[in-house]
């Protein structure tokens, strides 16, 4: 049997079609439960713009049922030993690893990203995170401090309770894992609301791992933000809210949480600068080639990564040499069927995001930015004709333009030049965002000094996939952790 979405446009080897049901219910209390309203909504694959499944349309009543199940499970789950929780997390990791190819393909169908990314990055990182937190919880230690000869204080770690977790659509399974794994490791119970654009892959995961955990420990309610996400974020029955998504939505969630006096963890937007110092061009060697590759990472995951380079700052003395190579590398990015083995960049996650990116391209042109590559949708043929494909695009302009200041969240990067390190720092910091940044230099002094003066504290020589142990900071208005 051929791969579900593969036709003549896919070079993938023939494989068994991933088993995707016609519709999925919520997962509450250890079983799949129909939505209280009886309503379902279509899940459209970005690959071809066609409906491939339906998801339960959750509402406040469904959220309350999930919270009931989580609260019922919490007293016993919170008392489970760290050894037992570690064992179960490792078992989840084993199941994901055993079903990695199937989950990677379903994630690609659900989200539109290239299979090479879901197979080599997203799903392996899910496995890694569950195993990491399985190890972390076994190494957890309390602390004792002596105040005087008669008094000591003991600090014990205990689970917060039931937590609400709202997942974005750019990394559906990986972002869910980022939130679920540490919560379960800590002894918390969770109610998860995945993005309405990508609700299917996590429900397939629940079919695989649901019976590993006691009923009610992990609950998933699908639906729209206002109908299901807001009741979860505003509930007085959650001890904490974790959210990844747009800054405007994050502000609302922080407001809701403040009314209930509960902590929040939020990762919001980014407009990540990558600074390429003059020394990058000192030689045409492996380092120079790696710097070019780093710049082209703006197209990773179709640019739907908050820490991808979205602003490139190049020293004016190396601009021509450097950008000539960057443009050539960008134009060599192969687009095609996301399930094809040789496709490098797939489809945008939804039609709304597709239209948003195209509108920003129009804004850039109206602002007078120069199009160095791309600048339009990618007109693919056959079964992909109605998919959401956009050419990787490079604009040259200045940092006051909207395309430099506002998060586009697509395969679009904005390029400008600088003369001095001070000017580069000023441009890099001239944004409301401060999530991540990159610095490229052969000078060790620059690599140490410039990050200290940048508001993008994620500044690094390279921009790797984040490891389990990577730390974030409180920066400007983007990453909030408490």
Q: Two tokens at 147?
A: 């105040």
d(CA 302, CA 298): 8
* 7 is a domain residue: no
- The phi and psi torsions of 33 (rounded to 5 degrees) equal -125, 130
d(CA 178, CA 74): 20
Q: Two tokens at 66?
A: 């999930």
Q: What per-residue confidence (pLDDT) applies to 432?
A: 85
Q: List the domain range (segments joined by +) for residue 44.
A: 23-140+157-267
Tens-digit pLDDT profile for residues 160-207: 999 999 999 999 999 999 999 999 999 999 999 999 999 999 999 999
Task: Check whether residue 61 and residue 197 sit in a common domain.
Answer: yes
* 328 is a domain residue: yes
Antiparallel, parallel or unpaired: β 393-396 and 370-373: antiparallel
Containing H/E element for 26?
Answer: strand 26-28
Return the SS3 of 345: strand
Return the SS3 of 106: helix
Tens-digit pLDDT profile for residues 72-86: 999 999 999 999 999
Q: What per-residue confidence (pLDDT) applies to 469?
A: 61
The mean predicted confidence, pLDDT, of the chain is 91
Containing H/E element for 240?
Answer: strand 240-244
CB atoms within 10 A of CB 230: 19
Instruction: Indicate whether this model's pTM tops 0.95.
Output: no
Q: What per-residue confidence (pLDDT) applies to 458?
A: 44
Nearest to 478 by CA among 248, 257, 169: 248
Q: What per-residue confidence (pLDDT) applies to 205?
A: 98
d(CA 57, CA 224): 7
Nearest to 392 by CA among 430, 348, 350, 424: 348
Task: Check whether residue 326 and residue 445 sit in a common domain.
Answer: yes
- CATH number for the domain spanning 324: value is 3.40.309.10
Task: Point out the domain boundary residue: 210, 233, 267.
Answer: 267
* 9 is a domain residue: no
- CATH number for the domain spanning 57: value is 3.40.605.10
Helix extents (H) in 171-262:
172-186, 200-209, 230-234, 247-260
Inter-residue contact 403 to 364 (CB < 8 Å): yes
Nearest to 188 by CA among 133, 252, 253: 133
Antiparallel, parallel or unpaired: β 23-24 and 26-28: unpaired
Which residues, including other chains, have CB under 8 Å from residue 217's CB and lie 6 or more apart? 70, 73, 77, 184, 189, 190
Q: What per-residue confidence (pLDDT) applies to 18?
A: 78
* CB-count burial class (<10 Å; 0-12, 13-18, 19+) for 8: exposed
* 18 is a domain residue: no
d(CA 318, CA 418): 10
Nearest to 380 by CA among 38, 96, 46, 90: 46
Which residues, including other chains, have CB under 8 Å from residue 266's CB and lie 6 or more apart? 242, 243, 244, 250, 253, 254, 479, 480, 481
- Rounded to whole angstroms, the maximal C-alpha distance in the chain is 80
Active site residues: 267
Sheet holding 311-315, edge to edge: 370-373, 393-396, 412-418, 311-315, 273-276, 438-440
Return the SS3 of 70: helix
Q: What per-residue confidence (pLDDT) applies to 455?
A: 54
Task: Point out the domain boundary residue: 217, 233, 267.
Answer: 267
Task: Check whether residue 328 and residue 179 sit in a common domain.
Answer: no
d(CA 415, CA 312): 5
Q: What per-residue confidence (pLDDT) applies to 449?
A: 84
Task: Check whether residue 135 and residue 63 sit in a common domain.
Answer: yes
Task: Check whether residue 365 and residue 236 sit in a common domain.
Answer: no
* 473 is a domain residue: no
Give the C-alpha distances (Å, rounded to integers) separating 469 from 129, 135, 328, 439. 9, 12, 35, 21
pLDDT in tens, the chain (482 residues): 333 333 233 443 433 457 899 999 999 999 999 999 999 999 999 999 999 999 999 999 999 999 999 999 999 999 999 999 999 999 999 999 999 999 999 999 999 999 999 999 999 999 999 999 999 999 988 889 998 989 999 998 999 999 999 999 999 999 999 999 999 999 999 999 999 999 999 999 999 999 999 999 999 999 999 999 999 999 999 999 999 999 899 999 999 999 999 999 999 888 999 999 999 999 999 999 999 999 999 998 999 998 889 999 999 999 999 999 999 999 999 999 999 999 999 999 999 999 999 999 999 999 999 999 999 999 999 999 999 999 999 999 999 999 999 999 999 999 999 999 999 999 998 988 877 888 999 999 888 888 776 654 444 433 434 566 665 443 343 333 32
d(CA 206, CA 190): 13
* 174 is a domain residue: yes
Task: Check whether residue 280 and residue 339 sit in a common domain.
Answer: yes
Q: What per-residue confidence (pLDDT) applies to 454?
A: 64
Q: Two tokens at 394?
A: 């490079």
- The phi and psi torsions of 469 (rounded to 5 degrees) equal -95, 5
d(CA 192, CA 202): 10
Name the one residue in this structure whose structure tokens are 């190819």: 101
Which residues, including other chains, have CB under 8 Å from residue 151's CB and lie 6 or more apart? none
When divided into structural domains, the chain yields a total of 2
Q: Cα 58–386–167 angle (5° rounding)?
A: 30
Task: Point out the domain boundary residue: 197, 232, 267.
Answer: 267
């Amino acid at each position: 049997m051929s791969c579900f979405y593969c036709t003549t446009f896919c070079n993938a080897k023939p494989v068994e079609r991933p088993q995707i049901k016609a519709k999925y219910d919520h997962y509450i209390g250890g079983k799949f439960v129909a939505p209280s309203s009886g309503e379902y909504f279509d899940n459209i694959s970005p690959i071809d713009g066609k409906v491939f499944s339906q998801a339960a349309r959750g509402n406040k009543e469904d959220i309350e049922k999930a919270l009931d199940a989580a609260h019922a499970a919490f007293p016993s789950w919170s008392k489970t030993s760290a050894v037992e929780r570690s064992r179960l997390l490792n078992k989840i990791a084993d199941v994901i690893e055993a079903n990695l190819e199937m989950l990677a393909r379903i994630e690609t169908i659900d989200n539109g990203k290239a299979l090479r990314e879901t197979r080599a990055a997203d799903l392996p990182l899910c496995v890694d995170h569950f195993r990491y937190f399985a190890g972390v919880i076994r190494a957890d230690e309390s602390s004792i401090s002596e105040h005087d000869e008669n008094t000591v204080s003991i600090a014990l770690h205990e689970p917060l309770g039931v937590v609400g977790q709202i997942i974005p659509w750019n990394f559906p399974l990986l972002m869910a894992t980022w939130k679920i794994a540490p919560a379960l490791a800590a002894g918390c119970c969770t109610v998860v609301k995945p993005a309405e654009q990508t609700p299917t892959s996590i429900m397939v995961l629940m079919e695989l791992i649901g019976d590993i955990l006691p009923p009610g420990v992990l609950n998933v309610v699908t639906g729209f933000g206002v109908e299901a996400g807001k009741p979860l974020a505003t509930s007085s029955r959650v001890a904490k809210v974790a959210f990844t998504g747009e800054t405007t939505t994050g502000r609302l969630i922080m407001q809701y949480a403040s009314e209930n006096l509960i902590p929040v963890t939020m990762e919001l937007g980014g407009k990540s600068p990558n600074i390429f110092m003059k020394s990058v061009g000192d030689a045409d060697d492996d380092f120079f080639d790696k710097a070019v590759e780093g710049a082209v990472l703006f197209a990773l995951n179709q640019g739907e990564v908050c820490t991808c380079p979205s602003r490139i700052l190049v020293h004016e003395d190396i601009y021509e040499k450097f950008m000539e190579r960057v443009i050539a590398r960008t134009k060599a990015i192969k687009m095609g069927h996301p399930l094809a083995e040789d496709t490098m960049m797939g489809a945008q996650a939804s039609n709304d995001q597709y239209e948003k990116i195209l509108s920003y391209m129009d804004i850039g042109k109206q602002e007078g930015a120069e199009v160095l590559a791309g600048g339009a949708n990618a007109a693919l043929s056959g079964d992909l004709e109605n998919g959401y494909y956009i050419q990787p695009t490079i604009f040259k302009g200045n940092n006051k333009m909207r395309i430099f200041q506002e998060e586009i969240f697509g395969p679009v990067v904005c390029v400008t030049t600088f003369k001095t390190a001070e000017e580069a720092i000023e441009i890099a910091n001239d944004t409301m965002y401060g999530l991540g940044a990159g610095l490229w230099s052969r000078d060790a002094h620059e690599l140490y000094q410039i990050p200290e003066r940048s508001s993008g504290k994620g500044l690094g020589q390279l921009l790797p996939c984040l490891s389990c142990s990577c730390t974030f900071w409180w920066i400007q208005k983007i990453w909030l952790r408490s």
